Amino acid sequence: MQDAPRILLIGAGHAHLVALATIRRQMPDAQVTLIDPSPFAAYSGMLPGVIAGHYEAADARFDLARIAARHGVRLVTGKVDGIDPLHRQATTTAGRMGFDIASIDIGIQGDLRQIPGFAEHAVAVKPLSAFADRWARFLDNPGPVAIIGGGVAGVELALAAAHRIGPHVTLIESGPRILGELPPASRRMLLEALADRQVTVHIKSQVACILPEDVILTDRTRIASDLTIAAAGGRPAPWLARCLPCDAKGFVSVGPDLQAQGHVGIFAVGDCAVITDAPRPRAGVHAVRQGPVLAQNILALLLDKPLLAHKPQRHHLKIVSLGGKSGLALWRGLHVAGPWVWRWKDRIDRRFMARTGR
């Protein structure tokens, strides 16, 4: 390996932003490059607050140019569409980039492309930066909103949107009920919150097509929608499966050390990866906790030392915003709720933004 190793960070996901300061501090001579399609990276934890109007968009995004300049990192605004593990090269919209060590943290993409009109008339929650920009434009002339997906993410989004624009939000779920992953008591509380906000809920509903101002269900129900949002159906970037070992859904298969299976020096973290022996539901908290392990393992690899094993939590605290400045905290089947929960989450989020974006 060269005296000045080339470290390529593909994507400005939460794990990379957490790891960046440690990488630069402990490897001051390394040539570190961060490549991302956007000059900004949105913080998922504060997105509902942006939608609800509690934060400005700038409060919930990282300025990558500022972060890169502060840490002496080269920032490239571009998109990666493949890597060659053997020849240690990445193919990008900015040209080919060589690397000695690479890490991938590009998240997932909303994918309901099987629905006619989705690509033309709808927007997915992920990638977050693109969605935040679309929401800001929508607020110039707001109208009814339809959200596809009745999980926690979709419900939290619906509550935030209803707080901002009033009772003009519809939630569409294909299954027999929404929030099926939650304990009954927590589910009831969120259902009451939706009712209080006058969010219309359709269950057992399949979307037939999406039009510029309507969503059409397979039973011919027409739902008015000036902005249709997909909060379900996320998928990894297709190029990952072409270049690296992946599971059946296309997520990069990694070991406890966060390296792609069979590929020394190529890491994958965050939502785009799955730890084969310890799969977990995708959540920002897992990516954040992977950051320090990633940084230490990159250093260990360069120094020919043993790598650490990341041990993901089986359970993690989940805080759901209820639209207004109130929240619901869930932990292992138990929950508490109230304005103090929102204030607690606000402190956590602001501290993370300040620490990671500095």
Asked if residue 155 and residue 118 are part of one domain, the reply reads: yes
Could you tell me if 242 and 293 lie in one domain?
Answer: yes
Q: What pLDDT does residue 282 have? A: 64
pLDDT digits (tens, 9 = 90+) for 280-325: 666 667 788 999 999 999 999 999 999 999 887 777 788 999 999 9
Write the pLDDT tens digit of every residue in 223-272: 999 999 999 877 899 999 999 999 999 999 999 999 999 999 999 999 99
Q: Which residue has the higher pLDDT, 96 or 285?
A: 96
Q: Is residue 135 part of a domain?
A: yes
pLDDT at residue 2 is higher than 80 = no
Within a domain: 68: no
Instruction: Give the residue carrying structure tokens 């900015």.
Output: 94
pLDDT tops 70 at residue 80: yes
The residue from 302, 320, 341 where one domain ends is 302
Going by DSSP bridges, is the β-strand pair 207-210/214-217 parallel, antiparallel, or unpaired?
antiparallel
The token duo for 313 is 């939590």
Beta-ladder partners of 190: none
Q: List Cα–Cα distances, 87 to 96, 98, 101, 299, in angstroms.
A: 11, 8, 12, 21
Question: For position 301, what pLDDT does the model report?
Answer: 96
Q: Is residue 48 part of a domain?
A: no
Examine residue 193 and state whether it is found in any structural domain, yes or no.
Answer: yes
Residue 249, in any domain of the structure: yes
Q: Check residue 276 and give its pLDDT.
A: 87
Backbone angles phi, psi at 169, to 5 degrees: -120, 135
Q: What is the mean pLDDT of residues 69-84?
A: 95
DSSP symbol at 25: H
- Indicate if 192 and 244 belong to the same structural domain: no
**Top-confidence residue, 277 or 33:** 33
d(CA 214, CA 216): 6
Each residue of 53-70: pLDDT tens digit?
999 988 999 999 999 999
> Are both 12 and 102 inside the same structural domain?
yes
pLDDT recorded at residue 280? 66
Closest Cα partner for 44 from 356, 285, 258? 285
- What mean pLDDT value characterizes the chain? 92
Are 222 and 123 within one domain?
yes
Burial track 95-134 (b if 16+ CB lie within 10 A, e otherwise): eebebbbbbbbbbbbbbbeebebbeebbbbbbbbbbbbbe
The count of structural domains within the chain is 2
Q: Is the pLDDT of residue 113 over 90?
A: no
pLDDT tens-place string over residues 323-354: 999 999 998 888 999 999 999 999 999 999 99
pLDDT at position 172: 97
- What tokens were used for 89? 């090269």
Domain boundary among 233, 251, 282: 233
Asked if 258 and 297 sit in the same domain, the reply is: yes
267 lies in some domain: yes
**Does residue 115 fall inside a structural domain?**
yes
DSSP-based three-state secondary structure for 109: strand
Dump pLDDT digits (tens) for 175-195. Answer: 999 998 889 999 999 999 999
**Following DSSP, what letter does each residue of 246-299 receive, concatenated?**
B-TTSPEEE-TTSBBTT-TTEEE-GGGEEETTS-----HHHHHHHHHHHHHHHH
pLDDT reading at 117 higher than 80: yes
Res. 89 pLDDT band, cuts 50 70 90: very high
Rounded distance between C-alpha atoms, residue 321 and residue 329, angstroms: 9
What's 195's domain CATH number? 3.50.50.60
Domain hosting residue 183, numbered range: 111-233
Q: Is 50 domain-assigned?
A: no
pLDDT at 131 over 70: yes
User: Residues 12, 104: one domain?
Assistant: yes
Q: Which of 284, 302, 320 is the last residue of a domain?
A: 302
Pull the structure tokens for residue 123: 């927007």
Per-residue pLDDT band for 127 (boundaries 50, 70, 90) equals confident
Q: How confident is the model at residue 72 (pLDDT cuts 50, 70, 90)?
A: very high
Same domain, 225 and 206: yes
Same structural domain for residues 226 and 240?
A: no
Residue 223 shares a structural domain with residue 290: no
The answer on 195 and 274 residing in a single domain is no
For Cα atoms 350, 351, 353, give the angle at the middle one, nearest 5 degrees: 65
Q: What is the dihedral of CA 256, 181, 246, 107, to 10 degrees?
A: -90
> Is 215 found in the same domain as 176?
yes
The yes-or-no verdict on residue 169 having pLDDT over 80 is: yes
- What confidence category does residue 278 fall into, taking pLDDT thresholds of 50, 70 and 90? low
Length of the chain: 358
